[in-house]
Amino acid sequence: MIRKYLALALISVGLLSALPGCQGSGKDIGQEKATQIALDDAGTTEDAISRFRVSQERDDGRAIYEVRFSLDGTEYEYEISAENGDIISASRDMDNNSQAAPTAAATPTVAVEPTAAPETANTTAPADTGTPAPEQTTQTPGTAATQLSMDDAIQLVLERIPGATAEDVRIKLDYDDGYYKYEGDVIYNQVEYDFEMDANTGNFLEWEEDRG
C-alpha cells in the first residue's frame, strides 16, 4: 500500500512539473511592453527612432527581450526581463556613419627612394608648349581616396531594401586585404542586414539577412 501511495505521489509531481507555469511564474510581458519600457528609459517615442528591432532571447536560462533602436546618432540596446520587465542591461553607442581613412597601421606603407636635391644654379623656366599640366588628384585630410563615395554606397544598399532610408543604415570605411571596403548593417522592419562592399567597384562582397 505504501508503495502504491509513493507511486501516485511521484506521478502527481511529474504532472505538476509539466504544467505551464510550474517551472516558473509563466508570465511574459510581451514585445510591446518590453519596447515601451526601453523607450521610456531612453526618454523617447517609437515615432522618433530608427533601426528598431525587438526579439525574444534566452540568457542564462531566463527569457529576455532584446530591444535595439537608434536616436539622434546614438544606438541603444536593452535587455529586458520577459517575466517582470526589469531592465537587465542597457548600453548606448555612437552610430554616426564615418568615411574617415583607416589608421596608418592598417594602411600599407610604400617605400619612396630619396631623390637628389634639385640644382638651383643656371635654371630656366620650361618653355610653354601650350599643353595644360595634368590634373592632380586631391584628397581631403582624414579621408581615403575611393571611387565610390559613402552616399553612393548607401544608395546601393538601399536599392536592395525597398522602403528603407539612409537613417536605417550604419556604415563605415575600412581597409582590409589590400583594398578599401564599406561595411555595416541595416535594421528595417525587424530585419537586420549585414554587408561588405568594395569601395571602388560597388560590388557586394558579403550580404546576410537575419530575420530573427
**Domain range list for the chain:** 25-94, 97-110+141-212
Cα 105 → chain centroid: 23
Structure confidence at residue 99 (pLDDT): 67
Instruction: State residue 118's pLDDT score.
Output: 52
Q: Is 53 helix (H, G, I), strand (E, B) or coil?
A: strand
- CATH classification for the domain delimited by 97-110+141-212, as one of 3.10.450.40, 1.10.3720.10, 3.40.50.1370, 3.90.1170.50: 3.10.450.40
pLDDT at 145 (0 to 100)? 76
> 145 is written with which cell numbers?
581616396
- Residue 105: pLDDT above 90? no
**Identical fold, 25-94 and 97-110+141-212:** yes
Predicted local distance difference test score (pLDDT) of residue 111: 43
pTM tops 0.85, yes or no: no
Range from 15-19, 77-81, 128-132 carrying the lowest mean pLDDT:
15-19
Query: Residue 123: how many CB atoms within 10 A of its CB?
Result: 8
pLDDT in tens, 56-97: 999 888 999 999 999 999 999 999 999 999 999 999 998 767
Strand order, beta sheet including 204-210: 169-176, 179-188, 191-198, 204-210
Mean pLDDT (whole number) for 136-152: 69
Average pLDDT over residues 9-38: 67
What is the per-residue pLDDT for 33?
97
Q: Which CATH architecture has domain 25-94?
A: Roll (3.10)
What is the reported pLDDT for 107? Answer: 43
Report whether pLDDT(181) > 60.
yes
What integer best gives the mean pLDDT of the chain?
Answer: 79
